[in-house]
Structure 1
Amino acid sequence: MAKEAKPEAAPEAAPPRKSKKLLIIIAATLVVILALGAAGAFFLIRKHNAENAEEETAAETTKSKKKGGKEVLPVYVAMDTFTVNLVPESGDQFVQLILSVEVADAPAGERIKTYTPKIRNNVVMLLSAKKASELLTKEGKEKLAGEIREQMNHVLAPGAKEDDAPVKEVLFTSFIIQ
């Protein structure tokens, strides 16, 4: 009978060892899974934050300047079509252009509308003194845009410095030379 007691004691001791090993394996597996989940979440959040930072940087570059902490959107004023005879080089030539003007603020846009006859006169005089060959190149168009900007600023705010001038930029929306 003593022999029978020993085998009974041995099987009772063996299951607790297996259950301890099983618990250790399960605990280790859970720790590894949690560590992988935390690492994955960390990298996903990091990637998401990097994408948001890139979007914010892109948004800041497209926004116009801020004034007093508030965003100031650009104000554009569309001008009527200009059709002007150019200085003849080889027969009669003319330019037809449509432009929009970026101004500092809405009141400056209203001032452009008030002074439209004088501004149009100055632009027509400026254009009529040009040759087609001067206006065909990109540099010629950029120079013309600068000259039109100066003419407009001279009418709207004589003596204003370039940074304080109401007209910020002249943009051509159509430019045809025939």
Structure 2
Amino acid sequence: MKADPKGDAALAPAGASKKKLIMIVAAAVLVAGGGGGGAAWFFLHDKGGHEEAAPTKKKGKAAKSGPPVFVPIDSFTVNLQPENGEQYLQIAFTLQVPNAEEADNIKLNMPKVRSRLLLLLSGKKASELNTVEGKQQLAAEIVGQINQPFEEKGSEQDVSDVLFTAFIIQ
């Protein structure tokens, strides 16, 4: 068998054009994928210049960074407002704050924290605290009390949540 030089020449360009076509399609896919990835990056990230103007915490404190920090508060036992005889509340909870600096500030002012909380808790009735809604309202009031500045014209604390660890009414 003798090879036909004209036939081989005719097959070579067809094979080359298929390779060329595959390379063009692959390049087009890469460009489209790169464009899609670039578009996704553009829309999902801050636009230029916004990174420097990161949001800060209220009243000039540092921005939130890292996981939250938890500050356990020793348990309280207080007399509740009388309804059906004498009733007591024993409560323990943990405060959630954004960083260790805020936790240290609360720990340094713990006498003020405990005083505010004792005044708040001793003004409650058992019937106000027995429901889930009552406990949620109490948690919001605790956050409000602790977030008030410790010093006149001082900055507010940044307690974001109260997590009850014990709650007993007798």
Amino acid at match of 1:97: A
Amino acid at match of 2:143: R
Amino acid at match of 1:143: Q
Q: Does 1:117 align with 2:75?
A: no
For residues 30 and 23 of structure 2, the distance between their equivalents in structure 1, rounded to whole angstroms, comes to 10
Output the TM-score relative to the length of structure 1: 0.60
Match of residue 128 from structure 1 = 122
8 A Cα contact 1:65 1:72, kept in partner: no
8 A Cα contact 1:111 1:156, kept in partner: no
Structure 1 pair 169–99 and aligned structure 2 pair: CA distance change class (3 A): same
Which structure 1 segments of 5+ residues have no match? 1-10, 58-63
For 1:165, which of 156, 161, 166 is the aligned residue? 156
**Which is higher, the Rg of structure 1 or of structure 2?**
1
Structure 1 pair 145–37 and aligned structure 2 pair: CA distance change class (3 A): same
Query: In the comparison of the two structures, how many residue pairs are matched?
Result: 156
Q: Does 1:174 align with 2:165?
A: yes
8 A Cα contact 1:97 1:174, kept in partner: yes
Amino acid at match of 2:121: L
For residues 38 and 164 of structure 2, the distance between their equivalents in structure 1, rounded to whole angstroms, comes to 39
Q: Does 1:30 align with 2:19?
A: yes
The within-5 A match list for 1:1-178 is 15-16=5-6, 18-42=7-31, 45=34, 65=55, 72-73=65-66, 75-89=69-83, 92-102=87-97, 106=101, 108-154=102-148, 156-159=150-153, 164-178=155-169
Q: What whole-Å deviation, never above 9, does each CA across 1:69-105 have from its counterpart, x for those lacking one?
A: 9874455433223343433545635242312142677
Structure 1 pair 134–54 and aligned structure 2 pair: CA distance change class (3 A): farther
CA RMSD of aligned residues (A): 4.2
| Secondary structure of residue in 1 paired with 2:81 | coil
Structure 1 pair 168–100 and aligned structure 2 pair: CA distance change class (3 A): closer
Structure (1 or 2) with the greater helix fraction: 1
The percent identity for this pair of structures is 29
Structure 1 pair 86–105 and aligned structure 2 pair: CA distance change class (3 A): same
For residues 55 and 174 of structure 1, the distance between their equivalents in structure 2, rounded to whole angstroms, comes to 39
For residues 140 and 165 of structure 1, the distance between their equivalents in structure 2, rounded to whole angstroms, comes to 25
8 A Cα contact 2:64 2:98, kept in partner: no
Amino acid at match of 2:134: G
